[in-house]
A and B are shown apart, each in its own frame.
Chain A
Amino acid sequence: MVFAGEEVDERRAGFRRDVAAVLDDDAFFAALTGREHLLLTARGHGVVAAEQVVDAEIAAFGLADRVDALPSALSSGQRRRLALAAAFVRPARLLLLDEPERRLDTGMRARLATRLAARRDAGTAVLFASHDPDLVGAVADRVLTVADDACRLVDAADAAALVQEL
């Protein structure tokens, strides 16, 4: 597998700098607040004006009231939003997301779709797995449908319809 002309190897700092992933992990440092997790990520990536960036993402993901709580005091939906926010407080050339719509309410899903589409339009590649037709329709340019019998490359509108039928 190749990324930007080089073999994929997450041990390279350059690869980690370029790729932000939000997979199925629900793991947090027990004694760090949500804000500290985000600041660690932003500062770890050398983000300029890290505190403002983090504050903006906290507001964008609707975490302002709970971001200074420890992860154990957050609901699973809030922890999911925190994990997603971590992908937005740092620059990336590729956003890798595993079912980002999970545990989000309808409004937050729509706003996330808008944000992802904006990132895509700004030049960030977004690779995601999803069962949400709205998210697929709003963000995807090309869709690979994965079925038991075959995998097919389809355009986004067809894919959204296919997902709807599932």
Chain B
Amino acid sequence: MTADVLLTADPRAELGGPEVRRVTRRATAARAGVTLWTRLQEVWGTLASVGVGVAVLGGSLASLRERISVSGAPVTEATLPASAAAVVVGVLALAGLGVLLDRLGPVSSTPAAAAWWLPLPADRRGLLRGELVRITAVVAAVATVLTLPVALGLPAEPTPVSVLTGLGWAASLAAAAVGGTALLQTRGRGGRLAPVAGSAVVAVAVLAAAAGTAAAVGHVPLAVPRPGAPPAWLVALPAAAAVVLLLTAERGLGRLDAGRLRAGGATVQYAGASVLSLDTRDLGRALSGRPRPPRRSRRFGWVRRPEQAVVAADLAVLARGRWPAGQLVVAVALPVVVARTAGLGALPLAVWCACLLGWALAAAAAGRPGREAQAAPVLDRLLPLSAARVVLARACVPLLLTTAVCGLTGLLLGIGTGRAVDWAALGLATAPVWAAGALRAAYRPDPDWAGPVVSTPMGILPAGVGATLVQGVDLGVVGSLPLLLALLHGEPAAVLVAVQLGWSFALAVGALVHLARREAPS
């Protein structure tokens, strides 16, 4: 091995950050083999898919608005104005975006960029500027596309100005969210926004649910001032905030250290692979972050039997998770807010869907210990328990949690109707099936890509993967059908409560037996 070329370097000839990006991009493009025609085809295909999606969603929302306008009496007393629900949805969307950006960086480096770009003397600010621009553009574009069906479908008479204003708000707020999280990242405060955003969602949801329920107790609709539609020029405020935040964040990009950029890039890669493989369970693992460090070790003094050890471990996992408590609170509040909202509350299907959404969230929280056990089954195997008995023992904590969530939801929905206890009983009766659903989702097999595919206007849909992904939620949806009947009927008749309990119990037992057999070694 000899390399006798004299090694000298001229700092003035070093590549700057943008030049490094450009050199890499050109080398990549030269090998991509993408023609202008291919690019045009891709753009056209994307536009067509987005157009179909926007039309379908916009149509659904317009149909929902029309059904609200001709709906009859509400299922339960509706005391919240629609604007309150809109605020809850807005906060939910913004907080979700904030959590996502905070977990992913938002500025990060792929492993390749971390290995080959970051060690160069090139100015890091120039190197990462393109990344910040790219993330901002992607997030603003996605926010715009997602807002388009809402802006087109929800107003009774959408005008070009109202639609463009709505899109402007969405894009500006999304860009401001990127700028804000990037600014926190450059100040060394990355990773701290997610808990704040989660707390904001819990606070807003609880506030709205509590206000609606309190007003129902007094049978007085909540009086909220109606300011009317804000003037279109007001969109300049979030746009200006976005510009200021992004420019300030850009100035601090040079302060980001390679270790954090590399770690963020690894999370992005993990999450991206989970999205591409449609594995929501892995996506949750990628985004959930590390568990809360315990103040002290638990002594588990009450544990006498192996089943109790499983329950104790599950409770410890839940207690140390950063999200389960908030998820459970939002799971109760969400159906209550929808049912108490004027218009939405008059649609039994909407209330039922809100119950499904909330309880699916509760099942996801309750299934966390199961998901961790599925990922690392070795701990369960340390116990003198068959796989079937582990599954049964693991159902205890989810049953406890779904009983609390479903029962409380039913009780709060029933307040003001004079039959709160019956509604609570109906809610309680759905708990077993959601507990079993939580375990079914946690222990579901990996997506089956070998299954059949279905051609749709949105592209090819792998049916085998879809069938795997819905495992858990499918059980909850089917098991909650008697609740839908009660909502359509307008009251929780005793026979429907009995049917709900029997149906839910039978499905839960069947699912757990199936799961226990599948987990048992053959």
A residues neighboring B (CB under 8 Å)? 10-11, 13-14, 16-17, 20-21, 25, 27-33, 36-37, 40-41, 43-49, 52-53, 56-57, 59-62, 70, 83, 86, 88-91, 108, 111-112, 114-115
Contacts and interface: CB of A to CB of B under 8 A. Distances in A.
Nearest to A47: B9
Given A27-B115, A43-B13, A47-B9, 17 more contacts: A11-B124, A11-B254, A16-B120, A17-B11, A27-B114, A29-B24, A29-B116, A32-B24, A36-B27, A40-B23, A41-B120, A43-B15, A44-B121, A48-B8, A56-B4, A60-B1, A60-B2
Given A40-B23, A112-B1, A10 B32 contact: no
B389 interface: no
Nearest to A31: B28
A104 B9 CA distance: 29
A48 B12 CA distance: 11
Interface in B11-42: 11-15, 20, 23-24, 27-28, 31-32
B257 interface: yes
A70 B30 CA distance: 13
21 contacts: A10-B118, A10-B119, A10-B257, A10-B258, A11-B124, A11-B256, A16-B120, A21-B119, A27-B115, A27-B116, A33-B27, A40-B23, A44-B20, A44-B122, A46-B14, A48-B8, A52-B5, A61-B1, A90-B9, A108-B1, A115-B1
Contacts of A10: 118-119, 257-258
Contact of A56 (B3, B20, B115, B119): B3
Contacts of A88: 3, 7
Closest 5 CB pairs of A and B: A111-B1, A27-B111, A46-B13, A46-B14, A44-B120
Contacts, number: 119
B495 interface: no
Contacts of A13: 121-123
Nearest to A88: B3
Given A21-B119, A30-B112, A53 B7 contact: yes
B116 A37 contact: yes
Nearest to A49: B5
A165 B112 CA distance: 37
Interface in B220-235: none
Interface in B109-151: 110-116, 118-124
A32 B27 contact: yes
A32 B5 contact: no
Contacts of B116: 27-29, 37, 40-41, 86
